[in-house]
């Protein structure tokens, strides 16, 4: 793993945006694996600014997202479809038919996860995957104990995750209890990976991921086996003050 030390969340976001921008502008065709949540928000802001100021042609860009909540259709305000529209897709000129997320409202979830895995394969695989990391070392919705050989699958969300997400919904009963997520094997098939980490609450996970044993109890530890991973982490995440 290559570790990039940065001062703070803002610098982490800028460095990650630059990595994605450079990949887009240096490629004739590119498939980006995209993440949601609070960690990449500022990265998308910087990336939008870079792409629009430089008037970059994005007709060669394809995107696949890591995950989506089960039970929320694409129009639901808390779906990751809507998150991506608000924070990125509606602000740049990537063709909408080049952007893909799992269908959390699919009638047959077994078929949906198989079709999503097949879609990624048909696109030629992910060229650059963006990741965050959870406090317990999860990546995407792959919680501790997820098999390293897992492909796109349906995940039962932990009580902690459900409670963390409750702030986005009117009642706890409305919070999705499952999600569709790329599996760890799917993520590992990406040609290169950029992970972002900011804040002292991520420090234990980053240390364990980079220095600990490769074990399914810490899903992110599998990244030690990948040939091209860049970790962009700020001082607090690295316990540097």
Catalytic residues: 67, 136, 138, 143
Distances (CA, A) of 173 to 78, 164, 169: 14, 13, 9
**Region of 125 on the Ramachandran plot (φ > 0 left; ψ -120 to 50 alpha; else beta):** left
**Continuous segment of H or E residues that includes residue 155:** strand 153-156
What is the Cα–Cα distance from 14 to 17, expressed in whole angstroms?
Answer: 5
What is the Cα–Cα distance from 81 to 63, expressed in whole angstroms?
Answer: 12
Q: Which residues contact 38 (CB under 8 A, 6 or more apart)?
A: none
Q: Is 107 exposed, middle or buried (CB count within 10 Å of its CB: 0-12, 13-18, 19+)?
A: exposed
Residue 103 is given by DSSP the state: -
Beta bridge partners of 33: 64, 129
């Amino acid at each position: 793993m290559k570790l990039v030390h940065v001062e703070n969340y803002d610098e982490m976001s800028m460095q990650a945006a630059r990595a994605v921008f450079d990949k887009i502008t240096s490629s004739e065709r590119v498939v980006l694996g995209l993440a949601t949540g609070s960690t990449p928000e500022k990265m998308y802001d910087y990336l939008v600014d870079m792409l629009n100021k430089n008037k970059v042609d994005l007709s060669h860009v394809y995107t696949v997202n890591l995950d989506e909540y089960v039970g929320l259709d694409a129009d639901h305000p808390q779906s990751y479809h809507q998150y991506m529209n608000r924070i990125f897709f509606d602000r740049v000129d990537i063709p909408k038919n080049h952007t893909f997320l799992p269908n959390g409202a699919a009638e047959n979830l077994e078929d949906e996860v198989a079709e999503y895995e097949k879609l990624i394969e048909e696109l030629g695989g992910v060229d650059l995957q963006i990741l965050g990391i959870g406090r317990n070392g999860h990546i995407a919705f792959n919680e501790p104990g997820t098999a390293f050989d897992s492909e796109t699958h349906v995940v039962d969300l932990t009580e902690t995750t459900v409670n963390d997400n409750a702030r986005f919904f009117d009642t706890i009963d409305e919070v999705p209890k499952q999600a569709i997520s790329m599996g760890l094997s799917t993520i590992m098939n990406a040609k290169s990976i950029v992970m972002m980490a900011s804040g002292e609450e991520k420090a234990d996970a980053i240390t364990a991921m980079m220095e600990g044993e490769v074990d399914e109890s810490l899903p992110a530890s599998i990244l030690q086996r990948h040939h091209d991973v860049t970790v962009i982490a700020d001082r607090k995440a690295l316990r540097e003050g």
